[in-house]
C-alpha cells in the first residue's frame, strides 16, 4: 500500500526521469532515514530502480515488462547455465545464470532453447580438457619453446570459447582488472581457492610466487589476489623492474620479444631454497614470463621443481590475451 510520501516520491521521479536521493530529500522535505526507507520499499515493490554505486546513485521508474510464457527448462540445463554463465551489460551490470543467458539471447535475437542446447554442448566439449578442475598446458609449452623449465603447466579455465566468447572466469578476470574491482577479485578467489589448495596439497608445494604486474594500477590484481587468498605458505620474492617505458607482455607479438622482455625485467631476489614452487599468474599468454622465472629459480638453485598455475589460458596454442 502506498503512503502519501511514497506517492510524492514516485511523482517526483516520474517528473525528473532520473534523480539522486539528495535531490529527493530536498524536494520532499523529510529526513534522510525516512526517504531511504521509502526508496528501499519502492525498489522491493518493483516500482523504481537504482543505478550506480554510492556516492553516485540515481533513481528512475522501472519500466513495465510484458509477461512472457514461462518455460520449464530441463533441470540439467538450469544447473549448467546457473553454474557457468555470466555476461556484462553495456552499462556495467553483471548478469549471471539463466537471467544472464536470457539477456544474452535476446540481445542477439536467438531462441533460448536451441541456444542453450548449443551452449551446453560447447561447455561439455571444453570441460573434457579439465582433469580435477585443471587444464594441462605443458604440451603447448613444450611445443612453443626450445627448452621448457616448468615441470608442470596448468590453468583453471579457458579465457574464451567459440561463439559464446569469454568464460565465466574470463569475464570476471577482465572486469576485475579493468575496473580494479575488489568485489570481483574476491569472487575470483572464492571460485579458485579450493582448486589452488588442492593443487598445493597434491603436488606438495612448499612455496608460492605471484607473477608481478608491469603496468601500474591503484588496485593491482595480483597483489590483491595474493592478499585475499592468504595461502599458508612462504612467498618467494619476485621483482619486476621498470625501465623508461614499461612494456607489458601483451603488447608484444613476437615470441622472441616476449622472452627478452621477461628475461630482462623480472628478477628473483629469493635466498631460501625449496623443493616445489608454485608460480601463480592471472592469464597465460605465450608462457614466456612463467618459463623465464622457472629458469631463474632453477639456475639459482632456489627450486628443484617449478609448477605454474594461471587462472585462464587460450585454447589453441599460446595465443596473446591482449585484454588482460
Domains by residue range for the chain, with CATH? 4-61 (1.10.10.10), 75-127 (no CATH), 130-313 (3.40.50)
- For the chain, the straight-line distance linking the first and the last C-alpha, in angstroms and rounded, comes to 49
Hey, what's the cell of 205?
A: 608445494
| pLDDT at position 307 | 98
Q: Per-residue pLDDT tens for 169-215?
A: 999 999 999 889 999 999 999 999 999 999 999 999 999 999 998 77
- Residues (pLDDT < 50) of the chain are 1, 67
Measuring CA to CA, which residue among 165, 319, 153, 173 is closest to residue 250? 319
Strands 207-210 and 165-166: unpaired
DSSP 70: -
Q: Per-residue pLDDT tens for 285-316?
A: 888 999 999 999 999 999 999 999 999 998 77
| pLDDT at position 103 | 94
| pLDDT at position 2 | 53
| pLDDT at position 217 | 79
| pLDDT at position 265 | 84
Residues in the chain: 324
Number of H helices and E strands in the chain, helices first, is 12, 15
| pLDDT at position 67 | 45
Q: Please tell me the pTM assigned to this model.
A: 0.78
Measure Cα distances from 206 to 110, 203, 255, 304 in Å.
Answer: 50, 9, 31, 11
Report the C-alpha dihedral over residues 128, 134, 136, 141, rounded to 10 degrees: 130
Alpha-carbon distance of 136 to 39, in angstroms, equals 51
| pLDDT at position 1 | 40
Amino acid at each position: 500500500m502506498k503512503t502519501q510520501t511514497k506517492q510524492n516520491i514516485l511523482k517526483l521521479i516520474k517528473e525528473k526521469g532520473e534523480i539522486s536521493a539528495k535531490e529527493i530529500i530536498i524536494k520532499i522535505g523529510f529526513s534522510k532515514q525516512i526517504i531511504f526507507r521509502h526508496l528501499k520499499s519502492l525498489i522491493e515493490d518493483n516500482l523504481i530502480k537504482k543505478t550506480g554505486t554510492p556516492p553516485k546513485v540515481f533513481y528512475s521508474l522501472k519500466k513495465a515488462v510484458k509477461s512472457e510464457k514461462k518455460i520449464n527448462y530441463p533441470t540439467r540445463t538450469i544447473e549448467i547455465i546457473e553454474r557457468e554463465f555470466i555476461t556484462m551489460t553495456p552499462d556495467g551490470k553483471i548478469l549471471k545464470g539463466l537471467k544472464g543467458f536470457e539477456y544474452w539471447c535476446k540481445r542477439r535475437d536467438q531462441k533460448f532453447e536451441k541456444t542453450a542446447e548449443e551452449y551446453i554442448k560447447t561447455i561439455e566439449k571444453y570441460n573434457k580438457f579439465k582433469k580435477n578442475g585443471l587444464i594441462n598446458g605443458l604440451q603447448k609449452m613444450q611445443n612453443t619453446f626450445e627448452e621448457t623449465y616448468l615441470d608442470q603447466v596448468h590453468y583453471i579455465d579457458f579465457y574464451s570459447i567459440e561463439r559464446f566468447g569469454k568464460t565465466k572466469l574470463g569475464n570476471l578476470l577482465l572486469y576485475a582488472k579493468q575496473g580494479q574491482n575488489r568485489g570481483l577479485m574476491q569472487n575470483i578467489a572464492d571460485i579458485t581457492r579450493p582448486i589452488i589448495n588442492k593443487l598445493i596439497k597434491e603436488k606438495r608445494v612448499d612455496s608460492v610466487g605471484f607473477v608481478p604486474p608491469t603496468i601500474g594500477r591503484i588496485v593491482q590484481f595480483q597483489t590483491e589476489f595474493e592478499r585475499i587468498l592468504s595461502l599458508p605458505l612462504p612467498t618467494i620474492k619476485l621483482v619486476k623492474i621498470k625501465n623508461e617505458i614499461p612494456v607489458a607482455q601483451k603488447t608484444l607479438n613476437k615470441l622472441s620479444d616476449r622472452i627478452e622482455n621477461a628475461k630482462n625485467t623480472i628478477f628473483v631476489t629469493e635466498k631460501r631454497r625449496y623443493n616445489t614452487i608454485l608460480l601463480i599468474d592471472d592469464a597465460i599468454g605465450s608462457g614466456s614470463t612463467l618459463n623465464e622465472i622457472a629458469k631463474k629459480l632453477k639456475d639459482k638453485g632456489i627450486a628443484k621443481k617449478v609448477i605454474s598455475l594461471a587462472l585462464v589460458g587460450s585454447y589453441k596454442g599460446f595465443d596473446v590475451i591482449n585484454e588482460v
